[in-house]
Amino acid sequence: MKKTGWLLTVLVVLLAGTLIFAGVFYLEETERQQEETAKKQQEEADKRRQEASGEKQRQEEKKNTPAQEEPFMPETAESPGENEKPQEDEDTVLVFAGDVYISPHVTANYDAGGISNVVSKELLDKMAQADLCMVNEEFPFGTVGEPMEDKQYTFRVEPSYVSVLTDMGVDVVSLANNHVLDYGLECLEETFQTLKQAGIDYVGAGSTKEEAASLKTYEFNGRTYGILSASRVIPVAEWNIENRQPGVFATYDETALVNAIKAARETCDFLAVYVHWGVERTTQLEEHQKYLAHAYVDAGADLVLGAHPHILQGIENYNGKLIFYSLGNYIFNQNIDKTMLVEVRLKDGEPQVSLVPGYAAGAKTCGYEDREEFFAYLESLSQGVHITDGVITLN
């Protein structure tokens, strides 16, 4: 028994010694590997510093070396018809859409997936590729002000979401509507600044009477295109630029806008007038819509476009000019039954007008699938026009 115990003790001692030796060897090996790694890292760092130093020295030498003059090569003039068509022969494309409100539903989509989560590619391409794209901005951009009292709906959008407009390719907006002053004068001024900083023009409102009623013009392919805008829908008289500034260019009486159209006619080859009017949620036209629209065309408008009813209204052929009484909502809350883009293509000054039908579901506006049904419906509301696969012809 004593002999067995002695052997057991010897085995335990030997085992302990083996473990101690193995631990020491492991620690030494780990330390050696760490030293080698550190050495390699230091060598690589030294190499990068040397390369950077050499590059800096080469840049300095290059900067201090006199530039070698290139031999003069005369430019060869090319005939416009050889490689590209002359500018005046190119088509000019104008695209118009209806009411836009960047609602919380829309911003949620935009935050989650960008502009392709708000508007389909088909519609985005039409907007972005146009020479000029215009919508009605049915809200102010701002961070200041208080909502107007006793008003059922008041809108305001954080200024950073102006990128929704720029991402769509919007060039100019109408501010002549019944929501742009929902949060007061300072918020409207903030709207002006937000749009200016984003490179987006605006019409129909301004800090002065002159600005609110001013004409915006654009030069494309050797011709001048003009935009005017006014509203016949404001909640209180104080919104009228004539009564308080900043404010909205109003057209309850046609005189001011008619005079602006006549003046614009002197400088514009093509003039579009965008108006806020009518009654919400009905396809029935008000008498004032027809009376004003005819007066605008008689004064020289080539195209009249309406907003405010939030749904599509009919198209009228009046003396060979088209009047779109309501373009409906384009981007708003979650669902839109029918909407559209109006595409005006001009060559040699002659317009060809076509429609791109759409709808919205889940706060995303997309192309309308049953185009034939869409155009048949719109034609049933219209007067003096025929719509074939989206192209409008005059009866």
For 94-152, give the DSSP string. EEEEEEE---HHHHHHHHHH-GGGTB-HHHHHHHHHSSEEEEEE-S-B-S---PPTT-S
Q: What is the pLDDT of residue 295?
A: 98
274 lies in some domain = yes
Read off the pLDDT band of 350 (50, 70, 90): confident
Give the mean pLDDT of 207-227: 97
What are the φ/ψ torsions at residue 245 (nearest 5 degrees)? -120, 140
Q: Which residues contact 278 (CB under 8 A, 6 or more apart)?
A: 233, 285, 286, 289, 306, 308, 309, 313, 325, 326
33 lies in some domain = no
Q: What is the pLDDT of residue 5?
A: 57
Q: How many domains does the chain have?
A: 1
Question: Which residues span the domain enclosing 261?
Answer: 91-394
* Neighbour count for residue 313 (Cβ, 10 Å): 26
Q: What is the pLDDT of residue 349?
A: 73
Q: Which residues contact 321 (CB under 8 A, 6 or more apart)?
A: 297, 301, 302, 303, 304
Give the mean pLDDT of 141-158: 97
Q: Which of 13-27, 64-78, 99-113 has the lowest mean pLDDT?
A: 64-78
Of 3 and 355, the one with more pLDDT: 355
326 within 8 A of 308, measured Cβ to Cβ: yes
Q: Which of 47-56, 136-145, 216-225 has the lowest mean pLDDT?
A: 47-56
Kindly report, residue by residue over 95-149, the tens digit of the pLDDT: 999 999 999 999 999 999 999 999 999 999 999 999 999 999 999 999 999 999 9
CA–CA dist 194, 102 (Å, integer): 15
Structure letter (DSSP) for residue 383: B
Burial readout 319-354 (b: 16 or more C-beta within 10 A, e: otherwise): eebbbbbbbbbbbbeeebebbbbbbbbbeeeebebb
330 lies in some domain = yes
Q: What is the pLDDT of residue 338?
A: 98
262 lies in some domain = yes
Q: Which residues contact 265 (CB under 8 A, 6 or more apart)?
A: 271, 299, 300
Q: What is the pLDDT of residue 64?
A: 40
> Which tokens belong to 243?
């009564």
19 lies in some domain = no
Give the mean pLDDT of 334-357: 95
Q: What is the pLDDT of residue 22?
A: 52
135 lies in some domain = yes
Q: Is the pLDDT of residue 72 over 70?
A: no
CA–CA dist 227, 206 (Å, integer): 15
168 lies in some domain = yes
Catalogue the E-assigned strands of 319-363.
Answer: 321-324, 329-331, 336-347, 350-361
Give the total residue count for the chain.
395
Kindly report, residue by residue over 29-38, the tens digit of the pLDDT: 545 554 554 4
Q: Is the pLDDT of residue 87 over 60?
A: no
Q: What is the pLDDT of residue 54?
A: 44
**CATH code for the domain of 295:** 3.60.21.10
CA–CA dist 226, 132 (Å, integer): 11
89: left (phi over 0), alpha (psi -120 to 50) or beta: alpha
202 lies in some domain = yes
